[in-house]
Amino acid sequence: MDAGTSHEGIPLTTIRVWRELGGRGTVLGPLFRASAHPADPPLPTQSPVLQLLLNAEVFAPEALGLQNVLVGGGEIVWMGTDVPDMPNSLGVTVEDLQGARMIPGFVDGHAHVTGGGGEAGPETRVPCVPLSKFTSAGVTTVVGLLGTDDVTRTTGDLLAATRGLVAEGLSAFCYTGGYHLPPTTLTGSVRGDIVHIDRIIGVGELAISDHRSSQPTLDELLRVASDAHVAGLMTGKAGICHLHMGDGERGLDLVRRALETSELPARVFQPTHMNRRKALFEEGLELVQRGCSIDLTAFPVEDGEDAYSAEDALERYLEAGMPSDQISVSSDGGGCLPTFDGDGRVVKMDVGEPATMATSLAELLRRGHDLDRVLPAYTTNTANLLRLKGKGRICMGGHADLVVLGPDGLPQDVMLAGVWHKRGGKTVVFGTFEQSGVMNV
Ligand code: ZN
Domain ranges of the chain: 12-103+392-427, 106-385
Distance 213 CA to ligand 1 centre (A): 10
Measured distance CA(378)–CA(374) in Å, rounded: 8
Q: Torsion-angle region of residue 170: left (phi > 0), alpha (psi -120 to 50) or beta?
A: beta
- One DSSP character per residue, 25-83 reads HHHHGGG--SS--TTPPPPPSSPPPPEEEEEEEEESSSEEEEEEEEEETTEEEEEESS-
Kindly name the residue from 108, 227, 332, 401 that is annotated as catalytic. Answer: 332
Structural domain 106-385, CATH architecture: Alpha-Beta Barrel (3.20)
For the chain, the first-to-last Cα distance in angstroms comes to 35
| Nearest CA among 157, 67, 74 for reference residue 118 | 157
Reduced to 3 states (helix: H, G, I; strand: E, B; else coil), residue 216 is: coil
Distance 25 CA to ligand 1 centre (A): 46
| Nearest CA among 144, 141, 220 for reference residue 175 | 144
Distance 332 CA to ligand 1 centre (A): 7
Reduced to 3 states (helix: H, G, I; strand: E, B; else coil), residue 400 is: coil
Distance 244 CA to ligand 1 centre (A): 5
pTM of the model: 0.89
Distance 386 CA to ligand 1 centre (A): 18
Distance 190 CA to ligand 1 centre (A): 19
Whether the CB-CB separation of 282 and 310 falls below 8 Å is answered with no
pLDDT by 10s per residue, the chain, length 441: 333 444 444 455 554 554 554 444 333 333 333 233 444 444 444 445 799 999 999 999 999 999 999 999 999 999 999 998 888 888 899 999 999 999 999 999 999 999 998 888 898 899 999 999 999 999 999 999 999 999 999 999 999 999 999 999 999 999 999 999 999 999 999 999 999 999 999 999 999 999 999 999 999 999 999 999 999 999 999 999 999 999 999 999 999 999 999 999 999 999 999 999 999 999 999 999 999 999 999 999 999 999 999 999 999 999 999 999 999 999 999 988 778 888 888 888 888 899 999 999 999 999 999 999 999 999 999 999 999 999 999 999 999 999 999 999 999 999 999 999 999 999 999 999 997 655 544
Distance 133 CA to ligand 1 centre (A): 19
CATH class as words, domain 12-103+392-427: mainly beta
Has 157 been annotated as catalytic? no
